[in-house]
Structure 1
Amino acid sequence: MSYAQQASWTALKNPPPGGSVINMLLLSDGTVLTQSGDDGQHWFKLTPDAQGSYVNGTWTTTAPMSFPRLYFATNILQDGRVWLLGGEYTGPYFDPNIAPSGEIYDPVKDTWSPIAPYPTEAGARFCGTRNVTSDVQLAAGSPTVTGIYSTDRLTPGWTITGNGIPAGATVLSVDSATQVTISANATLTGPSPAVRFRGIALACFGDDPSILLSGHRILAGNIFNNSTYIYSVDTNSWTQAATKVYNDRSDEEGWASMGGGGVLTYDLFQSVTNNQGYAELYDPIQNVWTPISPADGSANGTLPVLTSPALGFELGPVLRLQDGRAIVIGANQHTGLYKPANNSWSAGPDIHGTLSNPFGAVRGANFGADDAPAALMPNGHVLLAADAGPNPINQNGDAAAGSDIISNIPSTAGLQVTWAVAQADGTRNVIPPGTIITSIDSRHQIHLSSKATVSAQQISLVFGGEFSSPTQLFDFDPDENNISPVSPPLNDPNLPTFAAFVTRMLVLPTGQVLFSDGLGNQLYAYTPQGAARPNYRPVIERVTHNDGVFTLTGRQLNGPSDASAYGDDAQSNENFPIIRLQNSSGLVFYCRSTNWTSTSVGNIPHESVNFTLNPAVTPDVYQLIVSAGGISSAPFTIRISNDDLDHH
């Protein structure tokens, strides 16, 4: 256990071999699977050391997935495999093409396998016109194009342009996962880089939530409308699920596991359109969405609006708390709290941080989770990341044609390098689009990345906005209903200069929170103060053994929550049991869990899970511990004999 009298941050001893980490998943054998931010295709595995320490753990390279993906859905299946779907950006050139394809990773075999793609919607123009950019192989005089990274979106009629491709060529047929036939013969032999296919995509999934349900099923949202779909793991097929109550697409939204197997969503588009908060619950048994919105009388209390068009309709994570309530963290500074016991909402605490530079500070600035992670810690608090996106600063200044200096600003206090700069009236006649602050020179002057096109005196400017640095880490105390900067702060050199959307969190079986800033290759472990309350700990009732497989039976084995959350762009739900053995010498052996009988959270009165022994286990007496969401059970004494190992 890594519970402590005093909270602390510790840098992991070994960096991942793939550079930055942009996704983190806890596997059912206690290892951590991470996606490389260097190419978006390779994955690496962190294994704790012999004493169970992730801080001192080691890295191994795993098989790469079929092609690079960014911002997609993932779930840990009950057989321990990883299910993955879609991608807002895909391929070696990261086109924003919202891929419908998916794949499953088998950590035992270290292989990826394709799954049935997300369903085609009625209406051929559903997903709009998309690009697929790929390096290809051509043969002069042949219409066959090979070496395409994926043809999953291509259909006859798509255009194709690039070196060696005659003008006006189109796709005639899709021959395989990597090959098409086009309407003209290639004019060169060999590789042709960055060939672009363009056409109407008939199916697409990305920027959307998903969640594991009972019965080996996965519920998936829809980026363009309020329909939802269910994927069957057993049959590798899709069926349409219930339509959401409101005219609200699932784009940018996140889902949270609730008690009894329900799924909570905050309907952000419905909320922004009506300037009132809306939400609903999905019942997987009845296959029905139910409104829970004070705005229309389907719930009690007050539910704030938690995002805006200025913040890109982004939203922060949604997490069930240990006491059964749920928190929705806004892209603006607001939060909302839902209490199922009396079907009521209330405004949670706002998020406030400090903006500082050498020439002054803005204290109590609005911070928000305009895409950001959060983690429910064993002590019941929530660790969350937020940035200065909801706190743009309006100031006047003088611009001179051909100069990249803005002078005579009343105060540069709080301004940050890399912040966007735009004219307050929305025009672009003075400040070119895409301009950012490159330096803050004094209390009244800054440098920009672009030169003013014309001169203007005391022009009204907006500095900052969506996805603005710095990123700060905060602690939500549900008992005190308070959000404050986490203590101690993390001394990460990347946080002051980047927005929170690149960061990720994962709760480890030790009770620590693994943190990635999404940019460098240094990961950190946060050890929270205090321990879980006894009534939230998993309870082991008995352990049996049959033909090499052990079965553990107990209560609340999945923990009180999904444990870690981000939302539409990353899903790392950890509501399943992790089993480890510890011998009298302090050596720790994580076992592989499979077939947990419930996917719900909270006080599950009867549940079981299978596990197989770690290959390093030898005959001995062990203390068996089951954990979920970083909350560990009391030790359970188990004797492993030679007979137990004979079937291993």
Structure 2
Amino acid sequence: MKAWHALGITCVVLIAALGTISAQTWTPLANQPSFSASTAMLLTDGTVIVHDAGAQDWWKLTPDATGSYVNGTWSQLASLSAAYSPLYYASAVLKDGRVIVMGGEYNFFNPVWTTLGAIYNPLTNKWKSMGHPGGWSSIGDAQSTVLANGIFMLANCCTNEAALLDAKTLSWAAVGTGKADINDEEGWTLLPGGKILTVDASTGTNSELFDPSTGVWASAGSTGVGLVDPRSSELGPAVLRPDGTVFATGATGHNAIYNTATGTWSAGPDFPKVNGIFLDIADGPAALLPNGNVLCGASPGVFKPNTRFFEFDGTNLTQVPATPNAPNFSSFEGRMLVLPTGQVLFTDGTSDVEIYTSAGVPNPAWAPAITHVPATLVHGKGYAAKGTQFNGLSQAGAYGDDAQAATNYPLVRITNAASGHVFYARTKNHSSMGVATGNAIITTHFNVPTGIELGASRLQVVANGIASNSVNVTIN
């Protein structure tokens, strides 16, 4: 359990003998928020919905006319119901474009592991209260994911129970047998083929796989090194990389790598020590960068401040520049969201929002590829686009319990050829919410904005910040 606290000032302890990559940059938003920005999710129209930490209000960041999020602007959205003000909860963007948040370790900053929840419709700007799965007395700081078939799966933080959401009726059905321990403090990583990987927080070094086709959990073997802090039961995020390996971070300073092709674990590089104490991720965010590296933040000791940032390239952890607030917060206070530009939006529960720009470029083989889209599009009308790898090769964002911000769904970006202005066509009802779908043809449906500029344009499909080649279209 983490205590919520205001940002404090602490001393900076420098890491000696560690190289720092300087090509990467953090850029503050030109228009910083007036609230304490925390969990952020990418809506399917290219805007970002952001929660005021522990409060009822939500806000929207809209990129400027050139597609820049750094120069984006804020607008306030509808607030949650009078009874619901969560902190540390399950979250997801559903395949129909709605946003769901469930539970909360805190409600109005009281530690109650609430069963409350809500679902947001961006088209109406309204939240609707959600019921909880039958028989549950807690959801709390639960993990969740959208399965490859598009169904939202939710954990009960404090038991081994899980449930599936019927998005049409907003009803729940129990799922899952054979879980080796309770779900508390664990995270779920969607793998190629649709199974879910978790590292157990209560069974030593055991890991498990959930098979949605059978509803059964089974052991995925030992991580080899201990990732779970024995006192807090915390551990870090686990991110699937383009090569099919999962980088699983620990709250012990140790990290592990799961090979999805062989089903085996190996030790990863440790985080460095500072004054004899391992840096670790006892809860915290990580994001897959377009270059294939994993960006993550680690701090010295469980829940202690002074976060350092690293990129993992599949072999090595390399320190990269930190945000201005980094000396003042612990890893668990951060949140990361991969943007359509390939940058990472970072929040830390304050009014300073930073955007990370990485070095390098994606492998062209990782990009979505459009096989069909109409050559002429009419503003205000709906269409379908087809192609491969529309979901990307990973969920791209991870935290574990407390917050989820996956971006493995296609966005449609349209750039006017004359003005260079960027528009996003709201997408919905993708035929898959999987990852690394290979040569399978994926379909997404999109609506051309009514206010889009007309004329010759270039259309791209973007997944996890990686864009397809452009297709020439005419907007009428």
Q: TM-score, length-normalised on structure 2?
A: 0.91
The verdict on how the C-alpha distance between 1:214 and 1:232 changes in structure 2, with shifts beyond 3 A counting, is farther
2:416–2:454: 8 Å Cα contact kept in structure 1?
no
Counterpart in the other structure of 1:305: 226
**Structure exhibiting the larger radius of gyration computed from Cα positions:** 1
> Which one of the candidate residues 373, 377, 385 is aligned to 1:543?
373
Aligned residue identity for 1:267:
D
**Superposition map of 1:500-511 within 5 A:** 500-511=331-342
**Superposition map of 1:351-362 within 5 A:** 351-352=271-272, 354=274, 362=275
Q: Deviations over 1:327-346 (max 9, x none)?
A: 11111111111111111110
1:471 correspondence with 2:307: yes
Q: Deviations over 1:140-177 (max 9, x none)?
A: xxxxxxxxxxxxxxxxxxxxxxxxxxxxxxxxxxxxxx
Give the drift of 1:204.
1.1
Q: Deviations over 1:83-140 (max 9, x none)?
A: 111111003xx2111111211101110000122223214xxxxxxxxxxxxxxxxxxx
1: CA distance between counterparts of 2:30 and 2:273? 30
Q: Deviations over 1:419-461 (max 9, x none)?
A: xxxxxxxxxxxxxxxxxxxxxxxxxxxxxxxxxxxxxxxxxxx
Counterpart in the other structure of 1:35: 51
Counterpart in the other structure of 1:396: none
1:221 correspondence with 2:155: yes
1:262–1:283: 8 Å Cα contact kept in structure 2?
yes
Aligned residue identity for 1:306:
L
> Which one of the candidate residues 227, 232, 237 is aligned to 2:166?
232
After superposition, the CA RMSD in angstroms is 1.8
Give the drift of 1:216.
4.4
Counterpart in the other structure of 1:204: 138
2: CA distance between counterparts of 1:509 and 1:611? 16
Q: Secondary structure at the match of 2:327?
A: helix
2: CA distance between counterparts of 1:580 and 1:251? 38
1:353–1:472: 8 Å Cα contact kept in structure 2?
no
The verdict on how the C-alpha distance between 1:623 and 1:353 changes in structure 2, with shifts beyond 3 A counting, is farther
Give the drift of 1:606.
1.1
Give the drift of 1:206.
1.2
1:639 correspondence with 2:474: yes
> Which one of the candidate residues 470, 477, 484 is aligned to 2:318?
484
Give the drift of 1:365.
4.3
1:32–1:47: 8 Å Cα contact kept in structure 2?
yes
1:14 correspondence with 2:42: no
Give the drift of 1:215.
4.5
> Which one of the candidate residues 519, 530, 533 is aligned to 2:363?
533
Give the drift of 1:491.
4.4
Q: Which runs of 5+ in 1 are unaligned?
A: 122-202, 272-276, 295-301, 355-361, 390-465, 642-648
Give the drift of 1:217.
2.1
Counterpart in the other structure of 2:66: 51
> Which one of the candidate residues 520, 535, 554 is aligned to 2:387?
554
Give the drift of 1:371.
0.9
Counterpart in the other structure of 1:318: 238
Counterpart in the other structure of 2:209: 281
1:101–1:118: 8 Å Cα contact kept in structure 2?
no
**Superposition map of 1:125-524 within 5 A:** 203-246=137-180, 248-271=181-204, 277-294=205-222, 303-310=224-231, 312-352=232-272, 354=274, 362=275, 365-389=277-301, 466-478=302-314, 481-486=315-320, 489-492=321-324, 494-519=325-350, 521-524=351-354
1:228–1:243: 8 Å Cα contact kept in structure 2?
no
Give the drift of 1:71.
0.7
1: CA distance between counterparts of 2:446 and 2:188? 28
1: CA distance between counterparts of 2:153 and 2:262? 26
- How many residues were matched structurally? 449
Counterpart in the other structure of 1:612: 447
1: CA distance between counterparts of 2:270 and 2:102? 34
1:118–1:205: 8 Å Cα contact kept in structure 2?
no
1: CA distance between counterparts of 2:389 and 2:415? 22
1:216–1:232: 8 Å Cα contact kept in structure 2?
no
Q: Secondary structure at the match of 2:203?
A: helix
1:353–1:485: 8 Å Cα contact kept in structure 2?
no
1: CA distance between counterparts of 2:224 and 2:465? 30
Q: Which contiguous aligned blocks of 4+ residues in structure 1 show a shift greater than 6 angstroms?
A: none
2: CA distance between counterparts of 1:517 and 1:534? 32
Give the drift of 1:567.
1.0
Of the two structures, which has the highest relative contact order with CA contacts closer than 8 Å and spacing of 6 or more? 2
Aligned residue identity for 1:384:
C
2: CA distance between counterparts of 1:634 and 1:515? 27
Give the drift of 1:20.
1.6
Give the drift of 1:244.
3.6
Counterpart in the other structure of 1:581: 414
1:572 correspondence with 2:405: yes
2: CA distance between counterparts of 1:516 and 1:65? 20
Q: Secondary structure at the match of 2:111?
A: coil
Counterpart in the other structure of 1:185: none
Counterpart in the other structure of 2:7: none
